[in-house]
Amino acid sequence: MSSNLKVNTILPSTGSNIGIGTNGGELNVDGGCKVQVGTALTLGHSTGVQFSTQNLHSTGFEVNQINASGIVTASHFYGNGANLTSLPSQVTINNAAANRVLTSDGGTTINGEANLTFDGTNLDLASNNYLRLGGGNEFQIWHNGGTGNSNIKQVTGDMYFYTGSDLNMHIRDGTSVDLYYANNKRLETTNAGVECTGNLKFTGSGNGIDFSVGAAGASQSNVLDEYEEGVWTPALTDASSGGGAYVNPPSNMNARYIKIGRLVHLHFGVHAIGGTAAVANFNTSNPIYITGLPFPCLAQHSKHFVSMGYMPTIIEKNTFASLSQYNTWMDFQYHGHNTSTGAGYQVRWNMIHVSSNAGYGNIAFDLMYETYP
C-alpha cells in the first residue's frame, strides 16, 4: 500500500535547511522525473548530471573524487598528475644537444644524432657517414675523414648528370664515361682509349698532344702543339723585295701548305707563264723569285729539287729551290758553280721561255722546311 503526499511548499521548522533521511535515509526520485537546482544543475535518471554555463556557486564547484569507467574530457586539466595511473610509458630523449636530428628506436626512446645536425639552414653529415639513396642504397655520398677525400658512388646501374634538361655526363655501369654538349655526345672513354666526336682544340701557347711516353731523351720536346693546312698566295717577281711582279697570276696556279709543329710542307704548281700584259712590270732577264711563303724559313734551305718547263739544258743540271733564312721568299738555281759569287747559277725568267709572247713557262715543286716555334 502506498500513500502520496502533495504539498506546494516545504519549509524548515527552524533555520534554513531541510533534512531528508538524516539518519541514513534516501531521497528517491522517480525515473521519469528530474531534480532541478536553479538553472545551473539538473539531476535525472536518463539525463545524468548536467551543468549549464552558469556556476553552481560563486566560488566554483568542488569534487573530492571522480570515479569514471569511460572517457573524461575537459578543456583543461590541472595539477601535476603525480597520482595518475595506467598511463603509457613516457618518452625518453638521449644525447640531446642543440641542432641534433632526433631519431626513434621504434619504442619510447628518442636519440639525438651527434653526426647529423640541422641548424635551420644547413644539414650537416659528419665524416665517414653515408648519405644513401634508393631502395637498395645504390647511390652513396660520403666524406672520408682520414684521407680528406669526398666520394660519390653508384653501386649498381648508370649515373646521369643534367643541367636543366640537357645531359652533360653519362657514367656507364663499370664501362665508360660519356661527355655531352647540348645533349650531343662529344667524348667517350673506351677500353682502347678515348673517342672524340668533333674537333679536339688546344688553347694556350705551347699546349698540344704530348708524346713524351717512350721518348728518347728528357730534353727532347714531345708536344705536338700545332697542325694547320690551307692555301698560300705566292707572288712571282724579279727581285726578293721590290722589283716587278707578275700581273694577274694565272688561274691554274696551285699553292697549298700543311704545317705540323714547326715543319712546313709546301706545294706549288703553275704553267703557261708569260704574255705581254703579265710580264710588263718586270725584267724577264732577271732571276726568278717567289715571295709570300706562308711562314718564314728558320735556316737557309737549298737543294729542293723543282721542275721547270722548257729548260732542257737546265733540267739536266738539276734545278733546285733555295729558301732565304728568316725570310718568306725563295729563288731557283741550277747545278754548277758561279765563280764570282760562290753559289749556283740563278735561273732567270727568260730561261723558261717567259716573255712577252704567249706563255710557255712552268714551275712545280713540293718541299719541306722548318719555321719558327
Are 260 and 337 spatial neighbours (Cβ–Cβ below 8 Å)? no
The H or E element that residue 213 is part of is: none
φ, ψ (nearest 5 deg) of residue 313: -75, -35
CA angle 92–97–98, rounded 5-degree value = 130
According to DSSP, the β-strands at 109-118 and 92-94 are parallel
Characterize the bridge pairing of strands 184-190 and 150-154. unpaired
- Any idea what DSSP says for residue 297? B
Nearest to 234, CA basis, from 331, 334, 369: 331
DSSP-based three-state secondary structure for 67: coil
pLDDT in tens, the chain (373 residues): 666 777 776 666 666 555 555 554 455 555 666 666 666 666 665 666 665 554 445 555 555 666 777 787 878 777 777 777 777 788 899 999 999 999 998 888 999 999 999 999 999 999 999 999 999 999 999 999 999 999 999 999 999 999 999 999 999 987 899 999 999 999 999 999 999 999 888 888 778 888 777 656 555 578 888 899 999 999 888 888 877 887 766 677 899 999 998 999 999 998 777 666 677 777 878 888 999 999 999 987 777 778 776 554 444 457 888 898 999 999 988 876 554 554 568 888 877 766 656 566 788 899 999 998 7
Alpha helices in 98-157 (DSSP H): none
Kindly tell me the sign of the dihedral angle through the C-alpha atoms of 143, 145, 148, 154.
Answer: negative
Query: Which residues fall within 8 angstroms of residue 183, CB to CB, at 6 or more apart?
Result: 166, 167
**pTM, to two decimals:** 0.56
